[in-house]
Amino acid sequence: MKTAFAIVLFLAAPALAQAGASRPGRLLVAPKLGLFEPTSRLGGAFYAGLEVGYAAPLLEHALAVVLEFDWYRPKASGAVADPRLSSGAQAADGSYQLGLAEFGVLLSAVYRAEDLVMPGLTPYGGLGPGLYSHRAAITAFGTTNIETETKLGLQLLGGIDWNLGPGAAFAEVRYHFARVDFLSTGNANTGGFLALGVGYRLRLF
């Protein structure tokens, strides 16, 4: 994980060094919505995020430092298959429901290739660390158990901007890796793919 922080700092250092240059930088703000698809057995979930970034004057605003806050809550349900649950005077119901709420704080170094494909289109890609706060709530056998944990992870992203008005509409994908070690989940990767994220990126100056 120290390597991930080092990569972000290495990529972001030239941009921050240029912050005081005569040509102003750009402040970027982008609300986004999407569909998150875990790599585990959890189901797909609605995703909401808010991105705040700074594109420095360096390289024609190609390098940006981005901070993002996001939230999603994948779920799973099923039944425990065990003969002992159906034995005895009163048979136990082996069904369960699991909801895993995840709040992430992501720091990324992003490279933006403006007008690379055609005027008005800007593909971009980035990477960096993420701090993920997890809250798992599992209901089974008439009781609800809640577990919480905060872990560092790693995330990669890519997307494309389309200039529209004072900003740009965009679509992007992301993968992140973050592990938890709950009684309800075991030692598992709760990461996955932002299968499709869309939004509007404002350029405030």
- Over range 37-48, report the average pLDDT: 85
Q: Specify the pTM.
A: 0.76
Per CATH, the number for 4-8+25-77+95-203 is: 2.40.160.20
pLDDT digits (tens, 9 = 90+) for 54-106: 988 877 778 999 999 999 998 877 776 555 545 444 445 668 788 888 999 99
Q: Which of 195, 24, 38, 7 is nearest to 111 (CA)?
A: 7
Please give the Cα distance from 135 to 100 (Å, whole number): 6
pLDDT digits (tens, 9 = 90+) for 140-174: 777 888 888 898 999 999 999 999 998 999 999 99
